[in-house]
Structure formats: C-alpha cells, structure tokens
Amino acid sequence: MADHGHHAADIPQMDYAEHERTYHGFLHFAEVGTVACFAVVAALAVGGTKHAWGVALIGTLLTLVGTAVGIASRSLAWKAPAVPFALMMVALVLL
C-alpha cells in the first residue's frame, strides 16, 4: 500500500459539532432556495401565460428580497419566499 507520510496519530479528531452546523446550514439554504425557485417559476408563468410581465417582474423582485430575508433569518426560513410564491399563484389564477 502507498505510504503518504501520515500516521494515525497525525490525523486530527473530527469536529462533529461543526459538521452538524454545516449540515443544518445546508438544509436551511436548500429549503429557502427550493421555495424561491418555485416562486420564480410562478412569476415566469404569470408573465408567459397572462402576458403580465410587469407583475412577473415585481414578483421576481419580491422573491429576491424574500430569499435574502429567508436566508438571513432562521425563524422565517422558507416562509419568506413563500409569500411572493403565493402572490404569484393568486395572480396566475386571477389575471
């Protein structure tokens, strides 16, 4: 077997608390990002099917703001970009 110059005593112990923190951060980002993608797709649907590109632009900008708030705040998380998603779905039905 190849010798890489490392011995078992040289390897530092795993920092499981940091691994857990990183994993929870990834899940938080994935949740917020998924809802934000749904909101952008809903805004594109409003613009493409209803030809209301102004409303779609406003929905996209609200999604960007909601995503930033959701990433910054763990208590709001996915709920922040869910608001523009719900507004775009209502616009899709009513327009």
Share of the chain above pLDDT 70, in %: 88
The answer to whether position 61 is within a domain reads: yes
The pTM (predicted TM-score) of the whole model is 0.82
Query: Residue 14 has what pLDDT?
Result: 81
Q: Give mean pLDDT, residues 76-88.
A: 96
Burial letters for 27-55: b for 16+ Cβ neighbours within 10 Å, e otherwise? ebeebbeebbebbbebbebbbeeeebeeb
The answer to whether position 87 is within a domain reads: yes
Q: Give mean pLDDT, residues 22-28.
A: 96
The answer to whether position 32 is within a domain reads: no
The answer to whether position 19 is within a domain reads: no
Residue 1 has pLDDT above 60, yes or no: no
Q: Give mean pLDDT, residues 46-51.
A: 96
Q: Domain count for the chain, please give it.
A: 1
The answer to whether position 56 is within a domain reads: yes
The answer to whether position 80 is within a domain reads: yes
**Domain span holding position 56:** 37-94
